[in-house]
Structure 1
């Protein structure tokens, strides 16, 4: 009996030791201001990049270089999530579920189809769900901080409208690869020289046939480094001005650079090009009442409030404009009685857009949940876009905004990174 007791004790001790060792494997790898990055987070991201690279038959740099890029990505994520916490930005479960439903719908699938696909790929749905929540939060943080840095003049819009008219209906789109050899904050002449030499060496390797994505993963300071430097498809008018001037007239496969900017030296590769087809677009004229759930107002009460409004409107017991002015949480449209004016429906969030698509002129929707809150929508009318001057100006304004938003986002992230306390602990 004593022997059995000692054996059980030894077994328990070994099991506890094994658990303790497993726990010890996860540790703090990086301190980022008031937050930390765990070793397990770095390993998970590196593993994900390797998995995606294997699926896409993509070469990877050394594990050390890959780890460095993963740490940098997680530092930027941590800084944005900490800022979201300070700003009080939250994404509710209904908002999250609506976004996931929209993601599935855009792939002509259901949420159950998406769950099945994730299981096939070995991804836990809860992990996927929380990753989407974090992406939504970081998007809100970027919009809140970067939008106020953007100023667009009438002259800029007029200049671009004239340029678009000169270019005609067909405009080139480029799929760009990007490598940034960055400067440190307030670089010295020696820093600039060293960065230029590194950029020249990278260009030499690329001209010698080295894989662009692998070099980007190993060397780039750009935000697309973990994607192999792939910036995706960009219109000539929506990419950074520096890049737009450099790529014009170039063909697929060509390397460009090094190009110097305030951030460092850029090397571009034109992965592919394509034209843009001009199509007619149906525009909608709609109005809405937005009710935002809060700690005081639950999701169900917000929905029921709009159901009540719809009943009153259907029975001619209330006026839409007056309800919008009194109750709508969209300050811009509330002052106009909920009127949104003529717009391309694709400019709206998916849930709002899809609800409009199901309405006939004069009809009211049921309460619709979007990322902004609960909407009661009335479609006033539809028309085919006739490419008026106003339409051209709106398009030009959006292109300029997209370009400046991308540029200012990079600058804002860099400034936040430079101002943060970051300590990478010994591995």
Structure 2
């Protein structure tokens, strides 16, 4: 709430009167573009985002629609961001500087740049690095708020998972992924038949333009009511099972360039284009079979004593006085002690980061010297490594995630529409004074 009040106070003081000996002169530095509940979107924010999108389009040699159409989409996004950040404040959602740094470092790596190079690229595009960081922070908050509110509205039943698993086994097309573009011609709230007819006419016109070779991304930015509009409507790569059922039935086995629609949904008419097609690779993961002995420090047992105890156990194993399993049953804490510390076959990425790092340095038959994880002090015996085809093993989890993702996109759109319908939103014309 403090941030909102500060922003309102700032916005209210933007018209500054500069008095001179000759006359009083007014200088308009900024203005309120939109009121969203207790918050505001400033004209400078709209202009900054417009500038950023135009720069990205220039870098990618991408055509953009008119400034009027682009401004509508930009304003719409900033309204959503303002609404969700306000909800985030009430929920107590915060993104720490450490989380922000980790995200930006990952973005730099994905672009195959060092952090310094990535930062310079941002500056070269006309944005200060500090502003870019705060924009990323807002995106992270918006994403967290959406996930927290939408996932509680989604239920995936065991029967749905079983049905999808059966379908996945039967469909050879499951090995094919489609890069999809999506344009949504929205219905207004409580539409009348005339509204439905007008939306369908617009959708048919969009399909006509696409079939004549018009740029999909440009039309999506101009006309789409979907949350991906500013990304040119790109939904990313999806296989048949990841798509809404209405889409999958029409997209299956279609070649690159196919346009389907209009598809009527609860939100409007959808138009989908197959931007590209590719095959799916088999997933293989490395598993390790390891055992460990865990000693947790306490008031009685210090870190130094726990580490010394584990070193003495390694010495007994080395001298042949006891086996690892025998010592684990006697000394180790936690549920694996009754199994002689045996952790079974597992993907090492599922372990505590320190445990995972220790395993990465070991060869078959090695013992690892004492190290500290979030659970306490460990020693490890690595029995074996193997590569496994994880496709079948991961199918059940993947089926659940596919169903969840399929429902998430539609439910997120519904939730956001509900939030906007309940909000007070007032948009001011650009030339208003």
TM bucket by the smaller chain? Answer: 0.7 to 0.9
Which residue of structure 2 lines up, in the alignment, with residue 404 of structure 1?
407
2:282 to 271, 278, 281: 278
Which residue of structure 2 lines up, in the alignment, with residue 39 of structure 1?
43
Alignment of 1:156-305 (within 5 A): 156-168=160-172, 171-283=175-287
TM-score when scaled to structure 1? 0.76
Which residue of structure 1 lines up, in the alignment, with residue 129 of structure 2?
125
The answer on whether the counterparts of 1:181 and 1:199 sit within 8 Å (CA) in structure 2 is: yes
CA distance, structure 2, for counterparts of residue 131 and residue 286 of structure 1:
44
- 2:418 matched to 1:415? yes
CA distance, structure 2, for counterparts of residue 209 and residue 46 of structure 1:
26
Alignment of 1:62-211 (within 5 A): 62-168=66-172, 171-211=175-215
Q: CA deviation at 1:313?
A: 5.0
Structure 2, gaps ≥5 residues long: 1-17, 292-297, 311-330, 336-342
CA distance, structure 2, for counterparts of residue 209 and residue 353 of structure 1:
55
Cα distance change of structure 1 residues 37 and 278 upon mapping to structure 2, 3 Å threshold: same
CA distance, structure 2, for counterparts of residue 285 and residue 106 of structure 1:
32
> Which range moved further: 178-187 or 258-267?
178-187
The answer on whether the counterparts of 1:96 and 1:132 sit within 8 Å (CA) in structure 2 is: yes
1:394 to 377, 394, 397: 397
Pair member with larger Rg: 2
Which residue of structure 2 lines up, in the alignment, with residue 302 of structure 1?
none
CA distance, structure 2, for counterparts of residue 400 and residue 344 of structure 1:
26
> Which range moved further: 410-419 or 351-360?
351-360
- 2:50 matched to 1:57? no
The answer on whether the counterparts of 1:214 and 1:228 sit within 8 Å (CA) in structure 2 is: yes
SS at match of 2:397: helix
The answer on whether the counterparts of 1:313 and 1:319 sit within 8 Å (CA) in structure 2 is: no
CA distance, structure 1, for counterparts of residue 136 and residue 155 of structure 2:
30
CA distance, structure 2, for counterparts of residue 139 and residue 422 of structure 1:
21
SS at match of 2:241: coil
Q: CA deviation at 1:98?
A: 2.6
CA distance, structure 1, for counterparts of residue 185 and residue 402 of structure 2:
27
TM-score when scaled to structure 2? 0.75
SS at match of 1:385: strand
CA distance, structure 2, for counterparts of residue 348 and residue 238 of structure 1:
29
> Which range moved further: 50-59 or 75-84?
50-59
Which residue of structure 2 lines up, in the alignment, with residue 8 of structure 1?
none
Q: CA deviation at 1:57?
A: 1.7
CA distance, structure 2, for counterparts of residue 188 and residue 362 of structure 1:
73
Q: CA deviation at 1:314?
A: 3.2
CA distance, structure 1, for counterparts of residue 420 and residue 377 of structure 2:
42
SS at match of 1:237: helix
Which residue of structure 2 lines up, in the alignment, with residue 6 of structure 1?
none
Which residue of structure 2 lines up, in the alignment, with residue 13 of structure 1?
20
Q: CA deviation at 1:99?
A: 2.6
Cα distance change of structure 1 residues 375 and 407 upon mapping to structure 2, 3 Å threshold: farther
Q: CA deviation at 1:380?
A: 8.5
The answer on whether the counterparts of 1:61 and 1:218 sit within 8 Å (CA) in structure 2 is: yes
Cα distance change of structure 1 residues 141 and 122 upon mapping to structure 2, 3 Å threshold: same
The answer on whether the counterparts of 1:181 and 1:195 sit within 8 Å (CA) in structure 2 is: yes
SS at match of 1:210: coil
Indicate the structure whose relative CO is greater, using CA pairs within 8 Å and at least 6 residues apart.
1
Cα distance change of structure 1 residues 343 and 50 upon mapping to structure 2, 3 Å threshold: same
The answer on whether the counterparts of 1:313 and 1:320 sit within 8 Å (CA) in structure 2 is: no
CA distance, structure 2, for counterparts of residue 17 and residue 365 of structure 1:
72
Cα distance change of structure 1 residues 150 and 45 upon mapping to structure 2, 3 Å threshold: same
Which residue of structure 1 lines up, in the alignment, with residue 307 of structure 2?
314
1:25 to 29, 37, 40: 29
Number of residue-to-residue matches in the alignment = 372
Alignment of 1:339-354 (within 5 A): 342-343=346-347, 345=349
> Which range moved further: 259-268 or 274-283?
274-283
Cα distance change of structure 1 residues 142 and 359 upon mapping to structure 2, 3 Å threshold: farther
Q: CA deviation at 1:107?
A: 4.3
